[in-house]
Amino acid sequence: MTGIESLPVRDELRGKTPYGAPQLDVPVRLNTNENPYPLPEELVRRIAERVTEAARTLNRYPDRDALALREALAGYLTRTTGFSVSPAQVWAANGSNEVIQQLLQTFGGPGRTAIGFEPSYSMHGLISRGTGTGWLSGPRREDFTVDTRAAAEAIAEHRPEVVFVCSPNNPTGTAVDRETVVALYEAAQAARPSMVVVDEAYGEFSHRPSLLPLIEGRPNLVVTRTMSKAFGAAGLRLGYLAADPAVVDAVQLVRLPYHLSAVTQATALAALEHTGTLLGYVERLKGERDRLVRELRAIGCEVTESDANFVQFGRFEDAHATWQALLEHGVLVRDNGVPGRLRVTAGTPEENDAFLDAVRAVTKENPR
Ligand SMILES: Cc1ncc(COP(=O)(O)O)c(C=O)c1O
């Protein structure tokens, strides 16, 4: 047996740890922003039918261009945002992480840089590193909103090839204004020009309209989405983007041939037939998210405004000790390393009650 350190791995990977939230077996798991509702039985049956059909031709490679799926995704985006999207503007991959990886392989890479406004989704930086793209940490205000002027200045100074804007932002839940995205896009075009990637993984949970219509007339703007959250299908691994068709053509240069299995395509198509029911769960979760915000504030926590299916709360002298104490009460939340703060995913009403009881107990045991 040899250790990783004895292997000739790339220098920038040495001493690094892989991404991953603890997968612990506890009664209440609210740490990975999953949807707590299992897929409805009717949809489970439809998936079985569609997958059975796909299984009959598994001797063949799948549709490399995922045409039927892209058409269904374009229809979903058009219906839910009111902005008309064509299949040629949509691309899908195994989770939005893979979409982001393909974007960085296409527009980043050695000698190039990407910027995000942190704290934000740590995979933007990690996938940058994995693709040899330099990572730049841009600023955020104390209240976790993006300071348009400071962010535009950082873009002008560093001239990154890729700019990430996460809205709603993980782990803070903060949405980004349309005007801010427009200003950052303009700053990014003036600097080089570069690609602006708006990560809307939590878009369906927002109080605000999608930023998707901003792709109109902005050929270097990409919006990424996922079926992992609103669709309650994290296990499916299906993410997608919408952008100018030229962006879709460009990512063809790096995608692996037949990257999206026939089983994945069939399952995603089945889920897209049930968007009405699935978006009903989203409405319930938005209500629970708002309740978490209210009740955490009533307990005396400082809570960041949230447009996502999770809530950032604090402030704790030692956030990790509070994380541990909540775990001892059977509740797993996430410590994203934001000083004094933790993040909780909105679960079922019962899970949220258990979480709130645990917070009450822990704050009573250790008054802040
Ligand atoms: C902001 C953001 N983007 C992208 C993803 C990746 O989602 P997936 O690869 O499951 O589509 C996540 C997952 O937590 C996320 O929080």
DSSP label at residue 40:
P
Tens digit of each residue's pLDDT (9 = 90 or more) over 83-119: 999 999 999 999 999 999 999 999 999 999 999 999 9
Q: At 327, which helix (H) or strand (E)?
A: helix 319-328
In the predicted model, what is the mean pLDDT of residues 8-33? 87
In order of 64, 87, 94, 198, 367, the CA distances from 259 in angstroms are 7, 18, 8, 23, 51
* 197 Cβ below 6 A of ligand 1: no
pLDDT of residue 364: 82
**262, pLDDT greater than 90:** yes
With H, G, I as helix, E, B as strand and everything else as coil, classify residue 31: coil
Q: Which of 7-11, 106-110, 309-313, 351-355 has the lowest mean pLDDT?
A: 7-11
Q: How far apart are CA 223 and CA 166, in angstroms?
A: 10
N- to C-terminal Cα separation, the chain: 47
Give yes or no for residue 174 having a pLDDT over 80.
Answer: yes
Nearest atom of ligand 1 to the alpha carbon of 239? 11
What's the mean pLDDT in 169-198? 97
d(CA 125, CA 122): 6
pLDDT at 368 over 70: no
Residue nearest to atom 16 of ligand 1 (CA): 170
Q: How far is the CA of 165 from the centre of ligand 1 (A)?
A: 13
* Mean per-residue pLDDT over the chain, rounded: 96
> What is the distance in A from the centroid of ligand 1 to the CA of 324?
25
Mean pLDDT confidence for 45-69: 98
User: Is residue 367 very low, low, confident or very high in pLDDT (cuts 50, 70, 90)?
Assistant: low
pLDDT at 23 over 90: no
- Measured in Å, residue 1 CA sits from the centre of ligand 1 at 34
Residue 3 has pLDDT above 90, yes or no: no
Residue 14 has a pLDDT of 87
**Is residue 142 pLDDT above 90, yes or no?**
yes
In CATH, the architecture of 49-274 is 3-Layer(aba) Sandwich (3.40)
Residue 21: pLDDT band by 50, 70, 90 thresholds?
confident
Residues 212/200, Cβ–Cβ less than 8 Å:
yes
Q: How confident is the model at residue 234 (pLDDT cuts 50, 70, 90)?
A: very high
- Determine the pLDDT at residue 22: 78
Crossing angle of the two packed helices 275-299 and 41-55, in degrees rounded to 10 = 130
The fold for domain 4-40+276-365 equals Aspartate Aminotransferase, domain 1 (3.90.1150)
Protein residue with least CA distance to atom 7, ligand 1 = 96
Q: Which of 120, 128, 226 to mutate to test the pocket of ligand 1 (most atoms within 8 A of CB)?
A: 226
- C-alpha 8 – ligand 1 centre gap (Å): 30
Ligand 1 center from residue 234 Cα (angstroms): 9
| pTM as predicted | 0.96
Whether residue 121 has its Cβ less than 6 Å from ligand 1: yes
The residue nearest atom 12 of ligand 1, judged by CA position, is 201
Q: Does the C-beta of 239 come closer than 6 Å to ligand 1?
A: yes
Determine the distance separating the centroid of ligand 1 and the alpha carbon of 231, expressed in angstroms: 13
Nearest to 205 by CA among 352, 356, 68, 310: 310
Q: Which atom of ligand 1 is nearest to the CA of 94?
A: 9
Q: What is the pLDDT of residues 317-361, one digit of tens each?
A: 999 999 999 999 999 999 999 999 999 999 999 999 999 999 999
Largest CA distance in the chain: 62
**Does residue 95's CB lie within 6 angstroms of at least one atom of ligand 1?**
yes
- 36 pLDDT exceeds 90? yes
Averaged pLDDT for residues 266-273: 98
Ligand 1 lined by 35 (C-beta under 6 Å): no
> Which residues, in sequence order, are bridge partners of residue 340?
none
The ligand 1 atom nearest the CA atom of 202? 1
Does residue 201 have its Cβ closer than 6 Å to ligand 1? yes
Is residue 97 classed as helix, strand or coil in its secondary structure?
helix
Lowest mean pLDDT segment, chosen from 32-36, 73-77, 202-206, 220-224: 32-36
- pLDDT score recorded for residue 267: 98
- Ligand 1 within 6 A of CB of 228: yes
Boundaries of every domain in the chain: 4-40+276-365, 49-274
